Amino acid sequence: MDPVGLASNLTTLVGFALQSSKELHQTLDSFKKQDSYIREFKTELEALETVLGSLRKIADDTDIELYPLKLPLLQCGSACAEFKAIIAKHISRSNTIEFKTLIASYKSTIVAALINTNM
């Protein structure tokens, strides 16, 4: 069962995704050896955290209901939490690259929604 359901409000889901990405980022920081793939992945997580922070501000400051973002936020948070668990079992470089691409797609979806909201 997902820790946060789709019935949750946007602020809760943003918080879940943001916290999960930060925990994953901290996990990556704990690696003694950080090759270019890990550094790129951390950069992608930092960009995601920035986007999620902007979305949290919008969700907190307005009554706009961005319902289409609920599922991507839930999936993003869940994916980060699941990947953090996988990292604990020492994953391969190819899995990191695939996951970095997945995170980039969630970030793009959220950025597109933010741009639409501001228009």
pLDDT tens for each residue of 36-67 = 888 899 999 999 999 999 999 988 888 777 88
* Assigned domain for 43 exists: yes
* Assigned domain for 3 exists: no
* Domain encompassing residue 113: 10-118
Confidence of residue 77 (pLDDT cuts 50, 70, 90): very high
* Assigned domain for 82 exists: yes
Q: Which one is predicted more confidently, 48 or 119? A: 48
* Assigned domain for 102 exists: yes
SS3 content of the chain, % helix, strand, coil (to 5): 80, 0, 20
* Assigned domain for 2 exists: no
Average pLDDT value over all residues in the chain: 85
What's the structural domain count of the chain? Answer: 1
* Assigned domain for 68 exists: yes
* Assigned domain for 4 exists: no
Enter the pTM of the model. Answer: 0.74
pLDDT at 13 over 80: yes
* Assigned domain for 1 exists: no
